[in-house]
Amino acid sequence: MILTLYTGPQCSLCEMAVKLVEEHNAQGFPEITLNKVNIRDSHDLFHLYGARIPVLKRSDSQAELAWPFELDNLVQFVK
């Protein structure tokens, strides 16, 4: 599954989200590929996600998972 990760420069929470995705993949769940999008590259994205990053978004349903989340939340999100 491909997820979009809305992120920003030097975002420590975003790094934690990436580590959760890596942990998810390492545990044998269906593979998640991240498409990272820097919200600072778009005025619209910055206003939409600036106070919420990191945010994961599914391409199939457009559902979003905003921080804070844990591994079990991620597993449920990609089911």
The reported pLDDT for the residue numbered 69 is: 96
pLDDT band, residue 72 (cuts 50/70/90): very high
Instruction: Give Cα 60 to chain centroid, integer Å.
Output: 14
The reported pLDDT for the residue numbered 9 is: 93
Q: Name the β-bridge partners of 4.
A: 35, 57
The Cα 63–Cα 60 span in angstroms is 8
CATH code matching the domain that covers 2-78, chosen among 3.40.30.10, 1.20.1250.20, 3.40.50.970, 3.30.420.10: 3.40.30.10
pLDDT band, residue 35 (cuts 50/70/90): very high
Nearest to 34 by CA among 25, 46, 43: 25
Q: In what order do the strands lie in the sheet with 2-7?
A: 33-38, 2-7, 55-58, 64-66
The reported pLDDT for the residue numbered 16 is: 98
pLDDT band, residue 74 (cuts 50/70/90): very high
The reported pLDDT for the residue numbered 19 is: 97
